[in-house]
Structure 1
């Protein structure tokens, strides 16, 4: 099992990735990748799309989004840290879900230590749809002496709730097998699906870290689980050393931490806002059913609601269509640029319950 401390491009005390750095050739033909995934011949976790640096125009949109939304994200990080501190007594073990959860976990760790005076450590682990959480990583965390009840699972947002449900089931199974009592609930900044245990908000706003890939997540790829990973290994990842000169990871997290500390000093900790999970879940289910009808989508996995999920689709999948509520909203500017660059049709639905939704092109039915 991998035991070497691996922090990607972050500082050692920011995070320990419980991932196995590996060499993996990306699948260059995205259409072929989609065909393999959707036909069931390959699982999405076995392959990676190529990652490239953002264009100057796209990077400018990231900087603009960061300037516009950093205070909202900082406030939500502060609020989520307060919710964690209220629910956990004693030391906190943050376990972020690689990789969208990693920047959030880094920020939360600093805020918990500096604002709430909590002893806190942060690991980032792999969870994969249909394959569960990396049990070797959980075993490693417990072997370091961390109490099971101190563990807090963290991610950036929920889309339609697949990963939060996967997490709950995987941790339930782990507890049953090992006699532990780990809380399998997910803590997020924004819960669009109504499936998180704890969330700072339920609004579909542009979380700036969702715009970039590795260059805001410690230069680490999405996690990989294929034949190269042994039974005792952590799930794999690729470290993009070639992007080091363009890395935003530390600067992004440091900026958000500074904002959160300034907010705490000037305004105090923002009160927790009740998130109506039942209403969010009902909204999510109603929209998914409607989108399946309106666009003739049989496989619900091809519908990706919310800005964060839509961004992932346009960056690394084969999109069929981008749907937005308002083309003039600053939060969707980067999506419209990506759609233009990739010649993806855009539909406008003023009654859309999210700011954006992306549909993945079906590679199976003709």
Structure 2
């Protein structure tokens, strides 16, 4: 493997990205959406140039960090406690770029500082319809010779389970083809759809790092697909021009500073995987919700429905939204979404019986 890890704006000891800096093809958000929906490109073939958040939105991010940092740090520590019990010896965290990246940084700190564990953290690309970057796994297994059973996959949240299923399929195939023993378990902060193996909560709440793009993820772009036969990691860009508004290190410092003070559940309550009965119930509720939205709004592509605060935020930031659906205009959990909707002139619908705090619908553009 000729490709080597890169470092974003984090310290090298916090995170190494198993990605390759490449010359990206940039389109505007609208151009990208049209190209994706027309089928001329896959979403992982192009990027839109990220802009700095507005002053109002950045201020709201800081407020959300203040409001939710204790809850979030508690959830990180609970996941760290679970990993401490589930892994013997050294631990290798593989966060799914980019939503999982800040979580991986925080878990590494928690495990090292409060559980006295030796931890490596790498962030890897996973792409819907194209799977996990298997060249990144080759690098870990063949070049670094990591203990395969030490690996744990980390993400911020899961809802419909699309990326979770991609992960399972990629790892199961890789293990079968290479006679490896990499666990396919997924650890997340919030799992409101019943797909993760381990989660700190099922609550749909605004994980602060979900509110920003690269400026809370080491200034690294979304990943760009590169084929397996290239023997290269998936690609990315680094948004150096956003360094003045980069919150990546500030954010993880804010959260990790609270680790000594949070009170977590008893380990026995959390280190068992989510029961299959509960997961099945959550998955059934999610399916009914998606089917209802597709029927009521005439949506034919399930990928155009993004349930939950975090997923809705991603739509508002980097896709072309058609509609934002929320439970209440007064809920503190969705004020940043309301701000984004107003900035982008997106209609808001209030449905008090909504299964989640929020759901965003991607606009169907004319081909």
Whether these two folds match at TM > 0.5 is: yes
Per-residue CA shift, 1:60-106, capped at 9, x if unaligned? 11011101111111000000111111111111100000011000000
The root-mean-square deviation of aligned C-alpha atoms, in Å, is 1.6
Partner residue in 1 for 2:90 = 91
Distance in 2 between the 1:270 and 1:37 partners? 46
Give 3-state SS (helix, strand or coil) of 2:254's partner. Answer: helix
Does 2:255 correspond to 1:277? no
Partner residue in 2 for 1:13 = 13
Give 3-state SS (helix, strand or coil) of 1:195's partner. Answer: coil
Q: Does the C-alpha gap of structure 1 residues 211 and 49 become closer, same or farther in structure 2, counting only changes over 3 Å?
A: same
Partner residue in 1 for 2:80 = 81
Does 2:162 correspond to 1:159? no
Per-residue CA shift, 1:294-315, capped at 9, x if unaligned? 1111111100001111011011
Does 2:315 correspond to 1:326? no
Per-residue CA shift, 1:156-213, capped at 9, x if unaligned? 0002110001000011010111011111121100011111111111110000000011
Distance in 2 between the 1:112 and 1:238 partners? 30
Distance in 2 between the 1:240 and 1:219 partners? 5
Distance in 1 between the 2:5 and 2:349 partners? 46
TM-superposed CA distance for 1:49, in Å, is 1.4
Q: 1:164 touches 1:185 (CA, 8 Å); kept in 2?
A: no
Which runs of structure 2 are paired with 1:197-212 in the superposition (5 Å)?
197-212=197-212
Distance in 1 between the 2:215 and 2:36 partners? 26
Which runs of structure 2 are paired with 1:241-260 in the superposition (5 Å)?
241-260=240-259
TM-superposed CA distance for 1:293, in Å, is 1.1
Q: 1:202 touches 1:280 (CA, 8 Å); kept in 2?
A: no
Give 3-state SS (helix, strand or coil) of 1:304's partner. Answer: strand
Distance in 2 between the 1:32 and 1:6 partners? 29
TM-score, normalised to structure 2's length? 0.94
Partner residue in 2 for 1:133 = 132
Instruction: Show structure 2 runs of 5+ residues with no match.
Output: none
Partner residue in 2 for 1:70 = 69
Q: 2:14 touches 2:108 (CA, 8 Å); kept in 1?
A: yes
Distance in 2 between the 1:323 and 1:15 partners? 35
Instruction: Show structure 1 runs of 5+ residues with no match.
Output: none
Partner residue in 2 for 1:101 = 100
The aligned length equals 360
Distance in 2 between the 1:181 and 1:363 partners? 44
Q: Does the C-alpha gap of structure 1 residues 205 and 225 become closer, same or farther in structure 2, counting only changes over 3 Å?
A: same
Distance in 1 between the 2:171 and 2:229 partners? 21
TM-superposed CA distance for 1:331, in Å, is 1.4
Distance in 2 between the 1:315 and 1:8 partners? 21
Partner residue in 2 for 1:341 = 343
Partner residue in 1 for 2:356 = 354
Does 2:312 correspond to 1:310? yes
Distance in 2 between the 1:324 and 1:222 partners? 27
TM-superposed CA distance for 1:244, in Å, is 1.3
Distance in 2 between the 1:260 and 1:283 partners? 34
Runs (4 or more) in structure 1 with deviation over 6 Å come to none
Q: 1:82 touches 1:269 (CA, 8 Å); kept in 2?
A: no
Which runs of structure 2 are paired with 1:16-27 in the superposition (5 Å)?
16-27=16-27
Q: 1:132 touches 1:170 (CA, 8 Å); kept in 2?
A: yes
Distance in 2 between the 1:294 and 1:85 partners? 45
Per-residue CA shift, 1:3-37, capped at 9, x if unaligned? 44422000010011000012224202x33322221
Give 3-state SS (helix, strand or coil) of 2:230's partner. Answer: coil
Q: Does the C-alpha gap of structure 1 residues 361 and 260 become closer, same or farther in structure 2, counting only changes over 3 Å?
A: same
Distance in 2 between the 1:323 and 1:5 partners? 40
TM-superposed CA distance for 1:270, in Å, is 5.1
